[in-house]
Amino acid sequence: MIYLDYAATTPLDKRVLDVMMPYFSELFGNPSSIHRFGQKAETAIEEAREKVAKILHCRADEIIFTSGGTEADNLALRGAMMARRDSTKWLLTAKTEHPAVSKTAIQLEKEYGFLLEWLDVNEHGEITVESLSKAVCNNTSLASVMFANNEIGTINPIADLAQVAKANNILFHTDAVQAAAYLDVDVSKLNVDLMSLGGHKFYGPKGVGALYVRKGTALIPNQTGGSQENSLRAGTHNVPYIVGFAEALRLAVEEREERTNHVKPLRDHIIGNVLETISDSKLTGHPQNRLPNHASFVFKDVDGNLLLQMLDSAGFACSSGSACKTGNPEPSEVIKALGYSDDWALGSLRVTLGKDSTAEHVDSFIKTLPSLIEKARKLSNHKTSN
């Protein structure tokens, strides 16, 4: 099998595993315990926090460790909106966001009475300064815009958007879960108030993430109990995972240029070949301003889920934005937001590369894909005619 789904998850880096291992066994203490076992675990947590803070260019006490990017997004949105519920009501976000943001926003509207406005995106799935500026009102509390889109790879102008929010006294959150593997997540440059990260997108462990919370930003905790994480995230710390998260992020920053230079030519080879050799194919997302490892397409009159099954049988692991609900395929909200009709939107394909991807992997993929697309079209047309 050739793995081409690094946006979904990455394998754990052996170097990360090595720093995690002692905290599963001899250094097993609870960081909340006063004795020496607890002190060693607490030291590991705080060293990890300092390591992450140094990368983000923020204070260590502005880093809140979570169970992953989803929890970080939930804490950012729900926590910030609930903390400001007596003064401001509007939440701004886009339908191109990860469900961890979009579904949280919908719940805040339906269950808690907040007001939700969906930001417009352009044909590349990009949130522009004009789009945000147009949506802002005196009663806006929070804007949430992802740094880089997980499905189509588009990179948003976060620093410019955050400046609009700041000028209007609005909190600004960005989901940087996909971005952190390849983009600069320096919060002093981005000027964001809240930023979510997830460890398994940059060769760290699954089940751990972090939320940057600018000092002075009020949040209501989602999870109550002990006083861990500045009383914003109760529960005994997952010490080995937090240690692994920090080391994986350090390596991602240290090796960013090398990793980018490795995947970008491979990505460009895929994009150029697919668009040239496969009829009725379109690149989704921004043609240039996109993640360096990310290629995504729509193919007319193709069932994306069927295509994934064919690719899997042929030895390739990829993904699609479409989902099957009650037996009927439906295009993703992201692809629909770009304005594609169903005959295009249902045929989405995401191909994402990583540090273990090779030119041989890519050549094998682009050699195999055209015949699978042709076969999938024939099967789709057969279903339609019947």
Q: Give catalytic status of residue 324 as yes or no.
A: yes
Q: Which two tokens stand for residue 284?
A: 């989704």
Query: How many other C-beta atoms are found inside a 10 Å radius of the C-beta of residue 217?
Result: 17
Query: How many other C-beta atoms are found inside a 10 Å radius of the C-beta of residue 5?
Result: 17
Contact status, residue 178 vs residue 156, Cβ threshold 8 Å: no
In single-letter form, the type of residue at position 235 comes to: G
In single-letter form, the type of residue at position 359 comes to: A
In single-letter form, the type of residue at position 261 comes to: N
What is the rounded distance in angstroms from the CA atom of residue 375 to the CA atom of residue 386?
17
Contact status, residue 174 vs residue 163, Cβ threshold 8 Å: no
Contact status, residue 8 vs residue 150, Cβ threshold 8 Å: no
Contact status, residue 72 vs residue 66, Cβ threshold 8 Å: yes
Comparing CA positions, the residue from 3, 11, 5 lying closest to residue 200 is 11
Q: In whole angstroms, how far apart are CA 327 and each of 323, 330, 343, 373?
A: 10, 9, 17, 22
Residue with tokens 């961890």, as numbered in its chain: 100
Q: Which two tokens stand for residue 125?
A: 């799935």
- Which position among 58, 137, 318, 324 bears the catalytic label? 324
Residue with tokens 């905290």, as numbered in its chain: 23
Contact status, residue 144 vs residue 101, Cβ threshold 8 Å: yes
Q: In whole angstroms, how far apart are CA 257 and each of 247, 288, 355?
A: 17, 17, 11
What is the rounded distance in angstroms from the CA atom of residue 301 to the CA atom of residue 360?
29
Active site residues: 324
